[in-house]
Structure 1
Amino acid sequence: MKAGTSVLTVKIEINPRVHIGLISMHAGAPRKNGGLGFAVEGPTASIKTTSAPDLGVFDRRPKPMREREIERLRDQLEQIKQQLDLPSAATFEIAGGFLTHCGMGSGTAIKLACIEGLLEINHRTTGRKELIRLSGRGGTSGVGISTYFDGGFAFDLGVVGGKSDHFVPSSIGAADTLPLQLHRQSLPDWPLGLCLPRKCEPKTQEEEIEFFRRATPLPSVKSYEAAYVAVFQVLASLMEQDYRSFCQAISAIQESEWKRLERAEYAPHVDHTDKALRELGVDCVGMSSLGPLLYFFASSETLERVRAHSEQLDADIFLTVPNNSGRRMTSI
């Protein structure tokens, strides 16, 4: 960096997303993947990007990424800097309670925030599609990229290419085209909680890839069943803002084949925790993405009761609300 150059800092606050489920996971279909989910307020993380002579990534969270994951992110950001011929490098400091590898969508949100921060300190403007392309995300489901920018509920129809029986997680599922978004809306202000069972060990990227390899493709009828629940139950109940029907839909999606296989990865702990939450009076329980994070909707009084029982549940409990605005950026 040249002498006299001002140091610029940009801070981006990101939110978790709940991924309700993937849909088209069978071979030979005109489109594959597709998904639905929504953003929540917390726990959040902040990514502080500061101009610097050399590029560095520092994860200050209590539970940081693994060192090889940090190195991979650093290498990707360095490649973007060189590809776009950006004059300034940067340091990226990640802080907050937003957890990694548990179903909150941190990988997509952190990477997009780092890229946005890098472009911002270099006074480089670009559109969403280019940011997403640079991130390499969105090939499996468009929920994470949609909620990063806008929050709310998102439903997409995946990408063309279903005739291939090769399915991979979002961490490596880059696509030439973005998933086709069917619907987006603000989520009603329904209180909810997040539950992370302590006995469930989160999956590594390699374990996620292996799960997709052995679990796919599904029989086509299983995708049809998931699509019916996703459209006629989850989507319809949200469009009508029918809380009771929405809770019934979340319960129904847990019985779909893909979600059943995901939940089975954490047997019996997830099912035991699910049962305990229901006994405490919650209205529905679902598992986000490949888990092990559970999400549940209930009255405010019931949510507080769940939080008070966190030790009996042997789980970390976060009470939150929907986020309908997406990430927040400020210059420091």
Structure 2
Amino acid sequence: MIIETPSRLHVTLIDLNGAYGRIDGGVGITLQKPKLQVRAETLESGIEVVFSEKEKLESELMDDYTIKIKKAALKMVEHLKINEGFTFTVDKTYPSHSGLGSGTQLSLAAGKLISKMNDLDLTASEIASIVGRGGTSGIGVAAFDKGGFIVDGGHNKAEKPGFLPSSASHASPPPIIARHDFPEDWKIVLVIPNVEPGASGSKEVNIFQSNCPIPLGSVEKLTHVLLMKMLPAVVEADLDSFGSALNMVQDVGFKSIEHKLQNPRIKDIMNSLTEAGAAGVGMSSFGPTLYAVTDTYATDISRAAEEAMKDVGGKIIITKALNNGATLGE
């Protein structure tokens, strides 16, 4: 059995203050590419992970993918009391710890394959709870499930009283409070500079614990921008308003902290993308992936990105939104 899962942009976390009884919340966009593709076959025992294009991949990426797939698969096997093992073959990859959500997609992919191969039809949320994803943001789980433009409502503080990233939280995936198709005639230019990867592990935990709670006024401003500017812009396919809202989001709430922790080149590259005609420019999660939203200037923006990254190098991908989730095949 084979599964293809999308990548996603994490636009922002919403509420890391918690004054109104909930924390977290998130906004995200599902992408057509890059994608992950994983095949699974049964094995007498144990979990194996292999890569079909091993010679083209860095060892660090393969090690990271292997750990995440094995961890998720073992949790599924234990939870479902399965006696057989599995071999997972990874055919398509994208960078880990880059802000594109590979960890959640890999975990859910492994879980979904095991579920289907055992004649079960567990939901994405049920699998996420088993494999331990979605403890902070529900964007990756919803992108896997349905795609599109997603807003999740965060966690009740009775369930999750503290500020922690998904990798360190045992909370269930949060409820999706809004999901809309994202305009597919808008192009999204991904820019992944070769700078240090985004925060993960203990470093990410420390960032949450040392910077939260966020001031309430900042959270209130962010939610106002999201509810009364960004969401209507998506529904009405108003690119200028969406871009304006996206630019505003970069300077408020937890996103402003994520930006302060970046290599100075990130800000320079973002400015170059704006000057090249992008309606809006953002950084996904902790970066370093940047994205520019446009309708007609994708080529100009790509050239500007290439020029801005000439001293560090990087990858540029022109993509669009994906308005459906992961796909399964034989």
- 2:4 corresponds, among 7, 13, 16, to 13
Post-superposition shift, 1:202?
3.2
Post-superposition shift, 1:51?
1.0
Is the aligned partner of 1:50 residue 2:57? no
CA distance in structure 2 between the partners assigned to 1:91 and 1:214 by the alignment: 40
- 2:88 corresponds, among 67, 86, 92, to 92
5+ long unaligned stretches in structure 2? none
SS in 2 for 1:261: helix
SS in 2 for 1:16: strand
SS in 2 for 1:29: coil
Post-superposition shift, 1:69?
6.5
Post-superposition shift, 1:94?
2.2
Q: 1:29–1:163: 8 Å Cα contact kept in structure 2?
A: no
Post-superposition shift, 1:201?
3.2
Q: Against the structure 1 CA distance between its residues 163 and 121, is the aligned structure 2 distance closer, same or farther, given a 3 Å change threshold?
A: closer
Q: Against the structure 1 CA distance between its residues 246 and 71, is the aligned structure 2 distance closer, same or farther, given a 3 Å change threshold?
A: closer
Post-superposition shift, 1:132?
2.2
- 2:201 corresponds, among 194, 201, 205, to 205
Q: Against the structure 1 CA distance between its residues 182 and 124, is the aligned structure 2 distance closer, same or farther, given a 3 Å change threshold?
A: closer
Is the aligned partner of 1:71 residue 2:49? no
Post-superposition shift, 1:43?
1.0
SS in 1 for 2:50: strand
Stretch of structure 1 that moved more, 223-232 or 129-138: 129-138
- 2:181 corresponds, among 174, 178, 186, to 186
Q: 1:26–1:220: 8 Å Cα contact kept in structure 2?
A: yes
Q: TM-score normalised to the size of structure 1?
A: 0.89
- 2:307 corresponds, among 306, 312, 315, to 312
Is the aligned partner of 1:256 residue 2:248? no
CA distance in structure 2 between the partners assigned to 1:45 and 1:217 by the alignment: 34
Amino acid across the alignment from 1:211: I
Is the aligned partner of 1:242 residue 2:238? yes
Is the aligned partner of 1:33 residue 2:24? yes
CA distance in structure 1 between the partners assigned to 2:96 and 2:288 by the alignment: 11
1:63-114 C-alpha deviation (Å, 9 max, x unpaired): 4536367335414422321221223210112232422101101111110000
CA distance in structure 2 between the partners assigned to 1:230 and 1:214 by the alignment: 25
RMSD: 2.1
Matching residue of 2:322: 323
Q: 1:27–1:162: 8 Å Cα contact kept in structure 2?
A: no
CA distance in structure 2 between the partners assigned to 1:99 and 1:327 by the alignment: 18
Post-superposition shift, 1:23?
0.8
CA distance in structure 2 between the partners assigned to 1:163 and 1:152 by the alignment: 27
- 1:123 corresponds, among 114, 119, 123, to 119
Q: 2:3–2:39: 8 Å Cα contact kept in structure 1?
A: yes
Q: 1:16–1:41: 8 Å Cα contact kept in structure 2?
A: yes
Amino acid across the alignment from 2:259: R
5+ long unaligned stretches in structure 1? 1-9
CA distance in structure 2 between the partners assigned to 1:125 and 1:182 by the alignment: 23
Stretch of structure 1 that moved more, 16-25 or 78-87: 78-87
CA distance in structure 1 between the partners assigned to 2:223 and 2:159 by the alignment: 18
CA distance in structure 2 between the partners assigned to 1:95 and 1:283 by the alignment: 34
Q: Against the structure 1 CA distance between its residues 162 and 39, is the aligned structure 2 distance closer, same or farther, given a 3 Å change threshold?
A: same
Identity %: 25
Post-superposition shift, 1:203?
2.6
Amino acid across the alignment from 1:57: V
Amino acid across the alignment from 2:26: G
CA distance in structure 2 between the partners assigned to 1:160 and 1:171 by the alignment: 18
Q: Against the structure 1 CA distance between its residues 35 and 80, is the aligned structure 2 distance closer, same or farther, given a 3 Å change threshold?
A: same
Q: How many residues align?
A: 320
CA distance in structure 1 between the partners assigned to 2:50 and 2:212 by the alignment: 36
Q: TM-score normalised to the size of structure 2?
A: 0.90
Q: Against the structure 1 CA distance between its residues 183 and 229, is the aligned structure 2 distance closer, same or farther, given a 3 Å change threshold?
A: same
SS in 1 for 2:167: coil
Stretch of structure 1 that moved more, 246-255 or 51-60: 51-60
Q: 1:200–1:269: 8 Å Cα contact kept in structure 2?
A: no
Post-superposition shift, 1:160?
0.3
CA distance in structure 2 between the partners assigned to 1:81 and 1:289 by the alignment: 30
Post-superposition shift, 1:146?
0.7
